Structure 1
Amino acid sequence: MSKREAPALEPPTDIPAMEDPHTAAAFRSVRTPLLGLPAAAMALGIPAVTLGLAGAGWVLVALLGIAALAFLLAAVLTFVMIGSWVGPAAKLLRTQSWREATVKVYRPGKGLPKSKLAVKDGDKTINLVANALPWAAQQVLARTGRIWLVGPDDRGNAAIRSTGLALPLGQAKMTTEKVAAGYEINVVQDDPVRVPIAASDAVLAHTTATPRKRSRTDVVLPALLMVFALVMVFDLFSRDLRADQAPLVIGVLVGTAAIAGLLAWRIAKLRHWSTVDKLLAVGPWKSVPVSVHGEALKCAGRAVTLRKGAKELRANAVATGQLWIAGQPRGTVAVGLPGYPFLSVAEFED
């Protein structure tokens, strides 16, 4: 393990890949859209057709039809992307163990975003293309130079995985193209463990840039709607209301309450990211030893509570016995894994 890399969860290599719970969960999440999207399209499309034949209002029929068509298109696109891979991958994952190899990652060519991988598996090189490989996963593979795979089978299908659950399961297919003739992707940060403050972690900053920006912009529309709703409420109650206007009053109040709830939710997200930004600026990444006690994590006898959305960080902490935090292990801290796209907040018991 390089001193520049934080220890991270690695897949087991002594059991069939599907017996690993992280692999099994990732495979279920890949397979679910193949079943769920067509089911959703039917659930919306059948009522749309039924209501249309019954002469129901065209607005309702149109809304149901458009929603059904959206799900149908998503189902077709999903099937085109992974439909022919899921079956062979399931067989490979049930019959083969993950095996480690070295990898170099090359830039995608024109057309669909297919990353190119030159995998050194023992004494042979396997050229693979991977569909829609996330940017963060590309960075982890390129930076560590490590990959795990099962396959390829006789049709070239393979499954891949990285360290630390940055890529818990990826689709890949063997190609005859000499991928090494292309351009290797640039590793944006060679030593994420040594950044001066956790906020300087390039992979984490890139991954969180969009939700951080949206937390600010998403407040604008609900705030404007809230101002408009309050004006309406004030104007309504400044008039002499009649008994037959009760439904109008109830509708305005319910709508105002809904807008207030949306605004409160968006403000909570904005405050969350403001807090996280401050926690990440406290100091560099620091690893602290943790132990597992049932469902609880403990550090030096103190309970550590990870907030929701931290399952990958918990899995890595359980596997390595280390939890990476920004600053010192007390109070509320930012939690991550240097060079990986995971971020949460933890509470250290006093």
Structure 2
Amino acid sequence: MLAQPWRRRPATVAAAGEIAAFDRVIVFDEDRSLMLRGTLPDVPSLLLHHQELFLVGPDEKGRALIRVAGLCQIFPMKVDAREARPKEREPGLPGHPPHARGFRRLRRGAHGWLYAVATGAVGAVVMLLGLWPLSPLALVVGGVLLTLAALTTPAAVQLSRYYSQATAAADAATGWTSLPITLFPWEPTNVVAGLVQLPGRTVLIQFPLPNLDVIANIADTGTIWIWGNPADVVAVGAPQLPVLTVGVLQADRDKPPEEPQPWLLRGNDPGLREIPALRR
């Protein structure tokens, strides 16, 4: 299907029925209406706002692919024969706050250090159990877990501190602040960073654990949306986008550090991310 051209079509979200195991969307494809179902964790609010999507298919087996402006992911869908009515749109309020899911992700990140500590604790227990009776395998496994915990704990603690500060700033915020930004060209292993134009000065911003959708929106629009007022650590997102990520502002710098990004964080770099549907 990916060899076919994408078709831009009007669409909306279907009202939830009695069984809400899947999200459903209604696509108005030329002279017919298509009901498609799939798992769409971040799509409904954006689709209700844009009232359109990009479609490939469906094929002879009823399979289709969709994309929605603002998100980088391709979503696999299936034709659904059941009827449904369109979901009512929420009134477009200025300064609409981020989705609750974005706040939950920030709060989970604030406790990320617990995973590293738990890994070390499990490793210590496995090593102790391997001492009597003596078990070389248990000693090796416990040692690997302890080493992994020792390597990841410093970065995990620093990230948790950033997320905790961003969570506190987001909880106290009441509206969006939009500012011009210029992202630095991405280079392998380096942190994602850019220059933000604050009133009267330019500051460096770094994204220690960047979200691909947020970074893509920033790169496309040249605008950064901060939930709240600029501070040392901020929650960054975009109106209607149900995601928040962390940005660290540094007023005394005008370019990112030369040292490479910690290896623990490199796997989340937008330059290394692929779309699963394209990979298959």
Q: TM-score range by the shorter chain?
A: 0.5 to 0.7
Between Structure 1 and Structure 2, which shows a larger proportion of helix residues?
A: 1
Conserved 8 A contact 1:108-1:116? no
Aligned partners of 1:305 and 1:348 also within 8 Å: yes
1:194 aligns with 2:83: no
Structure 1 pair 109–158 and aligned structure 2 pair: CA distance change class (3 A)? farther
Deviation of 1:162 after TM superposition, in Å, equals 1.2
2:13 to 87, 104, 116: 104
2:78 aligned partner, one-letter code: K
Question: What is the aligned counterpart of 1:313 among 214, 238, 242?
Answer: 214
Question: For this pair of structures, how many residues does the alignment match?
Answer: 232
5 Å matches for 1:51-62?
none
**In structure 2, what is the Cα distance between the partners aligned to 1:126 and 1:328?**
44
Structure 2 unaligned blocks of 5 or more: 187-192, 252-280
User: TM-score scaled to structure 2, two decimals?
Assistant: 0.62
- Which of the residues 270, 275, 282 maps onto 2:165? 275
Q: Percent identity between the aligned chains?
A: 20
State the SS of the aligned residue for 1:164: coil
Residue 277 of structure 1: how far off its partner (Å): 0.9
Q: Tell me what 1:285 maps to.
A: 176
- Structure number with the higher strand fraction is 2
Matches within 5 A, 1:198-347: 201-206=99-104, 208=105, 211-212=108-109, 215=112, 218=115, 221=118, 254=143, 257-258=146-147, 261=150, 264=153, 267-268=157-158, 270-283=160-173, 284-292=175-183, 294-295=185-186, 297-300=194-197, 301-329=202-230, 331-347=232-248
- Deviation at residue 340 of structure 1 after TM alignment: 1.9
Shift in alpha-carbon separation, 1:191–1:204, aligned structure 2, 3 A: farther
Give the residue type in structure 2 aligned to 1:322.
T
2:40 to 133, 151, 154: 133
Change (3 A) 1:127 1:257: closer
TM-score by length of 1: 0.52
Q: Contact between 2:106 and 2:163, CA under 8 Å: does it hold in 1?
A: no
Does structure 2 conserve the Cα–Cα contact (< 8 Å) formed by 1:129 and 1:173?
yes
Match of 1:174 among 54, 64, 79: 79
Query: Does the Cα contact within 8 Å between 2:116 and 2:152 map onto a contact in 1?
Result: yes
Which residue pairs with 2:21 in the alignment? 113
Q: Which has the larger radius of gyration?
A: 1
* Distance apart, 1:113 and its partner CA: 2.8
- Give the root-mean-square deviation of aligned CA atoms: 4.2
